[in-house]
Structure 1
Amino acid sequence: GTRQFYLVNERKNWTEAQKYCREKFTDLATIQNQEEVDAVKSALNGASGYFWIGLRQDPWIWSDGSNSSYRNWISGEANNPVGDYCVHLISKQENSWHVIECNLASPFICYEAALVLIKEKKTWWEALRYCRENHVDLVSVHTEGIQRWVETVARNSSTDNVWVGLRHTCAQGFWFWVSGSTICYQNWAPGNGTGVEDCSNGERSGAVQSGSKQWISLLETQTLNFICTASQGEIRISVLYSGFVFTHETGS
């Protein structure tokens, strides 16, 4: 998975919970498969009760706009009522889902995306600055696992290529990750990255092709979408206001 789940032990209605998650994390929890059901269970850490997740009837749509068709309804649940309804996850019923009025006050589950696609067109330097000011950094793809995350996120890009934190130095003639990690894992497209770079028109940086998802060398002045790392990836247990926030990390 590419997200971390957090239990916020404060009672809010669905709309308030959504606002809180969007301010503190990425959004109310989207749960797209059994792996994420298990991750939410770990985030609950034994907590018992009813918890908002990000599913609301409009028709059924996730708070973050994703169109996952995965559902985990309580068996026999009539899940197409008329009116304004949202979804509770019930821990005592194997974390299955229950339809209920959105104005009830409940604790809730947020998620934080490990990677965020920014659908703005920026040069490589502008992208780097944006990620460092608003998130953590331009993504460094130093393992096959991160490459798979990047492939998933890059599917939704509006440009054919997407900047990542891959940089070439013309002075020394080598590629490096801006995070400081060395380039061991490689996924260059044929004819890219392994020969001498043409520095006659300026410095070059690395991008991922939205089609093949392989890495290519481009002039740093091209304007592309880009992918930021949104969280440091550490497991953090912290206290927000009066609510305890428990975390479980997926994908590590």
Structure 2
Amino acid sequence: MGRTVGIMVVLSGLCFLPCCSLRHYILVTQPKTWEDAQSYCRSTYTNLATVQTENQLAELNQLIGSDPSVWIGLSAHTEAWRWSLENQDYYGRGEADFRMWKAEEPNGDGYYKVCVAMSAVGTWMDQLCIQTFSFICYNAGTQDSSSGFILVNESMSWTNAQQYCRLHHTDLASVRNQAENDRMTTMLQHEYTWIGLYRDSWKWSDGSPLTVSNWDLDNPPSATSIGICVVSKFGKWKSRDCRSQSNFACFVEPAVRKQVVQVWLEKSDSSVDMEDLKDDLLQQRLKEHGLNTGVQLRWVEHPDGKVFQKKTSGTEEEKICTPK
């Protein structure tokens, strides 16, 4: 005769309704300044609209439609240039501030061109981060720091180059002094080559990173001073004085739900170790309930460190516990 064993599963962020979305946008047709719109969204919903994926950008554009001017949660901040490699132990006194700008650089339109490339003669220029150039990575741990520079002859955007360097090496290269700048110059094979200097000027109101953008390239954003915010106009982003008034878009995210589900299983083969099968059973439960996105499952362990316990009393039934 088979034995029954009790198992418990925690479901986090569970959403059974097909209409449930991870993010929902709301268009508010009450013209306000950017700051007042932000306050309204934070008090009534979650925050001014932010986007982190192309799908979210498409949803927001569909909501805005033909509205000619809608605040979104992006604004410019006065920030100093900084290196991608943030380990302060790498820089000696004043080395993080070494610059080798070409004459009249940086000359980007305010906060628009915020990534830096080295020219073939070793001078620096600000560039659009979406441009694709070769780049120089840095490997930490080498005795001679200059020997840790690696030229990568692949054309990538600055962000993709940063990701590549962090995955395969340490980071995009910092330039701490004239000797290192001269060393890198001898390595260059193209007109422009990315280095690790950038200016993180545009920020979402909820603090999330700017991973997706949709600037109107025919009218680049200008942020020559603090107090510049962003509107979406027919799906394209434009800079505007934060003190002007526009309709605005908010977003709201549903609260994460946590449920404890207690299930009784019958084991027909006493030689089977259920602990060895717990991961497979977890995946099976996902498939049975059609749960694949926005859901995290984990076992609740008993004090002895095990998931499964022999049933000693009670009826064989599935119990849904109060969410906690």
How high is the TM-score relative to the length of structure 2?
A: 0.38
Which protein, 1 or 2, shows the higher relative CO under an 8 Å CA cutoff with sep ≥ 6? Answer: 2
Question: Rg: which structure is higher?
Answer: 2
Greater strand content? 1
How high is the TM-score relative to the length of structure 1?
A: 0.48
